[in-house]
Amino acid sequence: MFLRLHQRWPWRNYGPWRGRWLLPARDAGTPACRKQVSVVEQSRQSVLDWRFNRLLQAGFYGLGSLLAYGRAPAVRWTSSGSVPQREAPIIAKTLQPVQPTGTTADAGKSTSEGEPWASLGSSSAPTAELLALEIRAESPHAFIQRRLAKALLAARLRLPLRDLRVVDPAFRNEAPVVLARQSAIVIHLEHIRAVVEADRVTLFDPEQPAVEAFLPQLHARLALSSPRPALPFELRALESILVDVCNSLMREMRYLVPGIESLLRALSSDDVAGATASAAAAADASTTPNSTAGDASSIPPDVIMLDRLLGAKNKLNELQNRATQLRNALNEVLLSDEDMSEMYLSTKAESGHRRRVDQHEEVEMMFENYLKQIDSLVSEIASRTQAIQSTEDFVQIKLDALRNRILRLDLVLKLGSVSLSSGALVAAIFGMNLHSTLEESQLAFLSVTGGLVGISGLVFLGGAAYCRYKRLL
């Protein structure tokens, strides 16, 4: 179309004017000429729009690459006018695995076997290490303290790293769990974090005081003089852990019970002030930081005991949550026959295969025994909590009764004020500066005073009778 227009009107007859191409004046008025000119303008506008869109698209490509990779890619235009193409695949270059160098290369070999992506960033990030105590079966008297890398430990035990999360002291909020695996038993019960194998026990976080107190008991159970003990090494270690955890919870419960009982007796008695002195010594275990010795003299005794009872109740609820979580962990093991048969690590080390699924009598009896102890502890905690709730309800009833007495007294005082205000109304009427014949009477003062007292008494008695009729007094 543009070629035919050019052949009809040569270029020397055209001239640009405000972005439009002018035709010769002799042909500008014909309809065919106007139609062809509009077609040319539409074609020119479409070409300009296409170039603008391609430039805008190339700009977005460059801006996105600059933000993502730190440099703008080289863009080249194709001859066919398609989407611009980049020179090199920057993403493929960026995601190439980093080969570890130096000393970390040896540590990375065991962790990255079968997982090529495990070596990404291993040269810059240090390997996580855990402080642990190791006790071997051949020398149970010796405790070897060392730092173990989580990756190397997982590779030696053929465990995923997520299983070692429960024994990492950095994760304090992990729930209690007993994981039976092919070559080890991973345990996290209360303060005990351990990995039990067929020939060794590894205790983590050994600097904790509760773990240090557990070591003599573990040594006594592992160092048996009998040549053929009733239980294998791993089950003796597991039983010692269960015994220590149950005993620690029982000790906490025995520590809280005397103070709670003294507080309940003091709050249930009528003479609260006299019972406070006898309950103060036994309730020190339940004392909260809010009740200090400096301001104890200015606080009522019942408020002090309620404050201590609140602290004891919070500790009891925390102990109940921990005991419930421990009971759930033991129940999970008892519900899985595969896990219980997997715990015979010595059998697998000697014969090369594990026991049958139904051969786990020793483990089942062990877990059932300590599960009963935890159940009894949870029941005792629930009974103490119910006693505290009953005492709180009783104290609330006493406070409600006292509040009702205060409300009755307030009602009586309000009746008295209403009766006196009715007499004051007559006195206010006589107090106006108006003359009457009563000023000259000798008996007017006495009669008016007696009438005011009588009116006030009648109003009070009538209000009291109405309140008794409505059972407000």
The percent of residues above 90 in pLDDT, for the chain, comes to 32
Q: Rounded to the nearest 5°, which phi and psi values hold at 334?
A: -70, -25
Please check whether residue 291 lies inside any domain of the structure: yes
pLDDT tens for each residue of 203-241? 999 999 999 999 988 988 888 756 566 788 999 999 999
Nearest to 367 by CA among 323, 325, 327: 327
Give 438 or 405, the one with higher predicted confidence: 405
Q: Which of 403, 420, 446 is the last residue of a domain?
A: 403
CA 165 to chain centre: 17
Lowest mean pLDDT among 50-54, 87-91, 156-160, 327-331: 87-91
Same domain, 370 and 452: no
Average pLDDT over residues 370-380: 95
**Is the confidence at residue 86, as pLDDT, over 90?**
no
Distances (CA, A) of 378 to 305, 326, 390: 25, 10, 18
Give the Cα-Cα-Cα angle 342, 345, 350 (nearest 5 degrees).
Answer: 125
| In the chain, % of residues over pLDDT 70 | 67
Supply the pLDDT for residue 174.
Answer: 85
Give the CATH number, domain containing residue 383: 1.20.58.340
256 or 9, which is more confident? Answer: 256
Task: Identify whether 108 is part of a domain.
Answer: no
Report yes or no: 186 and 214 within 8 Å, Cβ to Cβ. Answer: no
* Mean pLDDT score, 275-296: 47
Q: Please give the average per-residue pLDDT across 122-151, as a whole number.
A: 78
Among 90, 105, 136, give the residue marking a domain's end: 90
The predicted pLDDT at position 373 comes to: 95
> Which CATH number covers residue 219?
2.40.128.330
Same structural domain, 316 and 451: no
**With 70 as the cut, is the pLDDT of residue 159 above it?**
yes
**The pLDDT of residue 229:** 66
Does one domain contain both 253 and 343? yes
Residue 265: Cβ within 10 Å count? 14
276 has a pLDDT exceeding 60: no
Question: Phi and psi (nearest 5°) for 86?
Answer: -95, 165
pLDDT above 90: residue 124: no
| Residue range 334-352: mean pLDDT, rounded | 90
Domain range holding 396? 246-403
**42: pLDDT confidence band, cut at 50, 70 and 90?**
low
392 and 445 part of one domain: no
Rounded average pLDDT over 264-284 = 59
Choice among 86-90, 290-294, 342-346 with the minimum mean pLDDT: 86-90
- Is 441 contained in some domain? yes
Residue 106 placed within a domain: no
Cα 384 → chain centroid: 26
Domain boundary among 381, 403, 425: 403
Query: Are residue 390 and residue 424 in the same domain, yes or no?
Result: no
Largest CA distance in the chain: 140
Q: How confident is the model at residue 178 (pLDDT cuts 50, 70, 90)?
A: very high
Q: Are residues 26 and 143 in the same domain?
A: no
If phi > 0 it is left, if psi is from -120 to 50 it is alpha, else beta; for residue 126 that is beta
- Do the Cβ atoms of 133 and 143 come closer than 8 Å? yes
Does some domain include residue 379? Answer: yes
Please tell me whether residues 412 and 340 are part of one structural domain: no
CA angle 433, 439, 443 (to 5 degrees): 140
146 domain residue, yes or no: yes
Phi-psi region of 471 (alpha: psi -120 to 50; beta: other; left: phi over 0): left
Type of residue at 201: V
Instruction: Tell me: pLDDT of 348 over 80.
Output: yes
Q: Are residue 10 and residue 55 in the same domain, yes or no? A: yes
| Separation of alpha carbons 421 and 305, rounded Å | 44
pLDDT of the residue at 406:
92
Q: What are phi and psi of 335, to 5 degrees?
A: -80, -5
* Residues 272, 308 within the same domain: yes
- Asked whether residue 141 is domain-assigned, the answer is yes
Residues 326 and 251 in one domain: yes
Which pLDDT score is estimated for 439?
Answer: 75
Q: Residue 296 — φ and ψ, nearest 5°?
A: -70, -30
Residues 6+ apart with CB under 8 A from 25: none
432 and 285 share one domain: no
The domain total for the chain is 4
Q: Is residue 282 part of a domain?
A: yes
Same-domain status, 281 and 429: no
